[in-house]
Chains A and B, each alone.
Chain A
Amino acid sequence: MIVITIAVALIVAGTFFFVTATLGLLRFPDFYTRMHAAGKGDTLGALLSLAGLALYNLNNGFSVEAILISMKILIIALFIFIANPTATHAITKAGLVCSVKPWEKKESSK
């Protein structure tokens, strides 16, 4: 019971970060700031969701199969951890190379 509660809490928290990432993608003004939302909110969101799933999977007892599956899920999380910043960096650099102008806060609005 406790395990399920923790797992659900993790998944809900992960979903929350996914929602903020999507909101940021819609609200932010330009290419670079949108990359922040799209590339990053996902890192923690996916990590929390996957951790929740791994925990939920162990709920029915610690059989060999269940542990193997949970470890696979954690390896997926590890992969996201390495691949996500790399892809984000690549896209941002592509923007820089194509000289996309970054949006800046207007001085008059301060």
Chain B
Amino acid sequence: MKYVIVFLVLYLHWILWSGKFDVFHLSLGVISCALVTFMSHNLYIQSEKLSPRIIKESFRFIKYVPWLLYQIILSNIHVASLVLSPGMPIDPKIIRYKTKLKSELSLVTFANSITLTPGTITADIVDGEYYVHALSKKVADDLMAGEMEDKVAQIFEED
């Protein structure tokens, strides 16, 4: 089962990037993908077997992406206005943010989401505490409100 999924994902990529549909290229793709699948299937799917939980998480993650995009656009406009205003009213600070997330995957997702939204960069995670460099008071308050954390917790069912 694991082999089949890895092979299909790889082969889809092969077709997409080659863009050629003649027999030579397709069969070459089958051979290459089979070889790579045989050698490194352990790297792509870590867990022993596919549980329905992973599929559910993936679906919730896909639902989370548009919201994240919207947040990125909002805060990018905020940062652009900070850059363009003559007085440059920035108030950078390193804030600590205690998180309730537990698993590694949710911690990484949250950290990358923080960094992806302009105005905040995750600098470090020490014992469930984020060190976040925030550009202005507004973005720091947005983070402290914890909406993003709730959404990430919801994806991985850690409420």
- How many A residues touch B, CB cutoff 8 Å? 40
B30 interface residue (CB < 8 Å to A): no
Q: CA separation between A96 and B132, bound complex, in Å?
A: 11
A32 interface residue (CB < 8 Å to B): yes
B112 interface residue (CB < 8 Å to A): yes
B124 interface residue (CB < 8 Å to A): yes
Q: Are A43 and B92 in contact (CB under 8 A)?
A: no
Q: Are A36 and B73 in contact (CB under 8 A)?
A: no
- How many B residues touch A, CB cutoff 8 Å? 30
Q: Give the secondary structure class of A's interface.
A: helix
Q: Are A103 and B92 in contact (CB under 8 A)?
A: yes
Q: CA separation between A88 and B112, bound complex, in Å?
A: 10
Offer 20 A-B interface pairs, CB within 8 angstroms, sorted by A.
A24-B82, A24-B83, A27-B88, A28-B90, A32-B121, A33-B135, A39-B115, A40-B116, A41-B76, A41-B118, A71-B16, A72-B16, A72-B17, A81-B116, A85-B115, A89-B122, A92-B122, A104-B92, A105-B90, A105-B92
**B interface residues with partner A (beta carbon < 8 Å):** 16-17, 19, 72-73, 76, 79-80, 82-84, 88, 90-94, 111-112, 115-116, 118-119, 121-124, 131, 133, 135
